[in-house]
Amino acid sequence: MARMIRSMLLAVIVAGGLAFAAPASAAPLDAVSTFTYTQNMHPMGFSARANTANPFTANSDLAFWGKLAVHGNYDGFRLIDITEPDNPVELIDYRDCAGNQGDVLIWENLVIRSWNSPAPAGATCDGQPVALGFEGLHLFNISDRTNPQLVTSVTMNAATLPMRGCGSHTATLVPDIAGGALYVYNSASSGLCPGIDIVKIPLDDPSAATFLHRVPTGRSCHDTGVILGDAMLAACAGGNGFTVLSLAGASGGTVENPVVLYSVVVPGVTIGHSAAFTWDGQVLIFGHEPGGGGQARCQSTSSITDRTLFFFDARTGAALGTILHPRPQTATENCTWHNYNVVPLRDRHVLVAGNYQSGISVVDFTDPANASEIAFADPAPLDPNRLILGGDWSTYWYNGRIYESDITRGLLVWNLSSSTVAGARKIDHLNPQTIEFTID
């Protein structure tokens, strides 16, 4: 989410199409009582975490390890047991590291959290002082799920870099198990700090995590998608388009030192937001955030570009197709295509996206030139008379379920009954911006 909305509040979604309104009874149904959703979408579970306007404490991103979900927020993060998706159980609502944004990553018992803005005087994290002006990453040991412990902090404000604006807006985890390290591709989402910050975390000593260098990309990166396996690519989304980098192979580069392959300027785009890959490494999905995520940009009167999600050939950058947001929203609903991932399938391409107050969208783009929405869950506006910032920050597919981080409500879990996702692979963990192997 763009920095311009960090002090605003929240809202939810509107109706449309081939759907029915959910009755209010059990807790999950109560949580989605204002939603309209397709008949193949079934609300399963709900873990509430309401938020306020002052201070702004939005629920943000998600990451998964086994039966554990890490739910980021502007205060810190939550740990949620998802052993039973219809009954997610909060283990802790950790509020002792309030550096806004709260993008989260997980590797076994290590949680990595983004701190986005210069720390004010007197700021603390896990009871420890945070240096004035700090922006960067905090690493936590969560061996005790009820008592996270701060391991170390990594600043992006190296002596050779600008001293402000180089925080951690979003972060992408890139494991190099053979090399004994985790890498974080950090995105500052700031014009002062174009490129990808590379942070190295030794697996045998996470406390020795260190900032290595910045990889120039020709643009400020809002979000970075990565695919390993046979593909070995990264894509920085930001500004007027995206830049693709090679991490290995004939094109050069390594995980520690990616090299730029090409950049694409997308006409009409000014705030590139998200880049993701299909599991075969063939297609790149590019989304942008007109209005910084805080404006109503999915109305029928909004521009075509504002409502469009783009598909490109991952190796060449050639345009393959687009999809226009199919459910016009009202003037009181902030809306763009926002955070998403791709279902791990062998023979189809299916996207699961969270789009602020237009909620969840499931898109079949097996043929990118003829992509179509096959399911949705769309809440009514939080307020029909004024725009209140809210809705769906992130939505991801993980092991047969759809997990939705709603800015004001908390974590919602859905089941999609559709042959389109039959045969999806199960994985033992997920940092949604990273695909760790290819499916050919």
> At 176, which CATH number?
2.130.10.10
pLDDT at 366 over 80: yes
pLDDT digits (tens, 9 = 90+) for 273-284: 999 999 999 999
Task: Give residue 165's pLDDT band: very low, low, confident or very high (50, 70, 90).
Answer: low
Residue 33: CA count within 13 A, CB half-sphere: 7
Percent of the chain with pLDDT over 70: 91
Quote the pLDDT of residue 191: 79
Torsion of CA 119, 122, 125, 126, to 10 degrees: 180
E strand or H helix at 199: strand 196-202
pLDDT tens-digit readout, 206-227: 999 999 999 999 999 999 999 9
Query: Mean of the pLDDT values across residues 384-393?
Result: 94
Q: Per-residue pLDDT tens for 65-107?
A: 999 999 999 999 999 999 999 999 999 999 999 988 899 999 9
CA distances from 319 to 134, 312, 433 (A): 40, 5, 21
* CA 342 to mean position of chain CA atoms: 12
Specify the pairing of strand 259-265 against strand 196-202. Answer: unpaired
Return all residues near 355 (Cβ < 8 A) that are at least 6 apart: 298, 325, 335, 336, 337, 338, 361, 391, 392, 395
Partners of 324 in the beta sheet? Answer: 308
Residue-averaged pLDDT of the chain = 91
Name the band, by pLDDT with cuts 50, 70 and 90, for residue 15: very low
The mean pLDDT value for 334-355 works out to: 97
- Tell me which of 179-193, 254-268, 357-371 is least confident: 179-193
Q: Say if CB 277 and CB 314 are below 8 A apart.
A: yes
The stretch 380-393 carries a mean pLDDT of 94
First to last CA, the chain: 32
| Contact residues for 152 (Cβ-Cβ < 8 A; gap 6+) | 138, 139, 206, 207, 208, 209
**Per-residue pLDDT for 185 more than 60?**
yes
Closest CA to 361 of 392, 320, 316: 392
| pLDDT at 57 (0 to 100) | 81
Q: How far is CA 167 from the centre of its chain?
A: 17
- Alpha-carbon span 373 to 426, nearest angstrom: 23
Residue with tokens 């943000």: 60
Indicate if the alpha-carbon torsion angle 176, 154, 170, 51 is positive or negative: positive
Does 269 fall in a domain? Answer: yes
Range of the domain at 247: 3-435
pLDDT digits (tens, 9 = 90+) for 98-153: 988 899 999 999 999 999 888 999 999 999 999 988 889 999 999 999 999 999 99
Residue 105 lies in a domain: yes
Does residue 52 register a pLDDT over 70? no
Average pLDDT over residues 321-342: 97
Among 27-41, 93-107, 153-167, 324-338, the least confident range: 153-167
Contact assessment for residue 237 and residue 272, using Cβ atoms and an 8 Å cutoff: yes
440 located within any domain? no
pLDDT over 80 (residue 250): yes
Note the Cα 283 to chain centre separation in Å: 18
Rounded mean pLDDT, 197-212: 97
Residue 329: how many CA atoms within 13 Å on its side-chain side? 37
Q: Are residues 110 and 129 in contact, defined by beta-carbon separation less than 8 angstroms? A: no
Q: Would you give the distance in Å from CA 249 to the centre of its chain?
A: 28
**What's the number of domains the chain is made of?**
1
Residue 26 has pLDDT above 50, yes or no: no
Query: Pairing relation of β-strands 401-406 and 41-48?
Result: unpaired
pLDDT attached to residue 53: 54
Longest dimension (CA), the chain: 57
The answer as to whether 257 is a domain residue is yes
pLDDT at 158: 53
pLDDT of residue 8: 36
CB 430 within 8 A of CB 398: yes
Instruction: Find the mean pLDDT for residues 38-54.
Output: 88
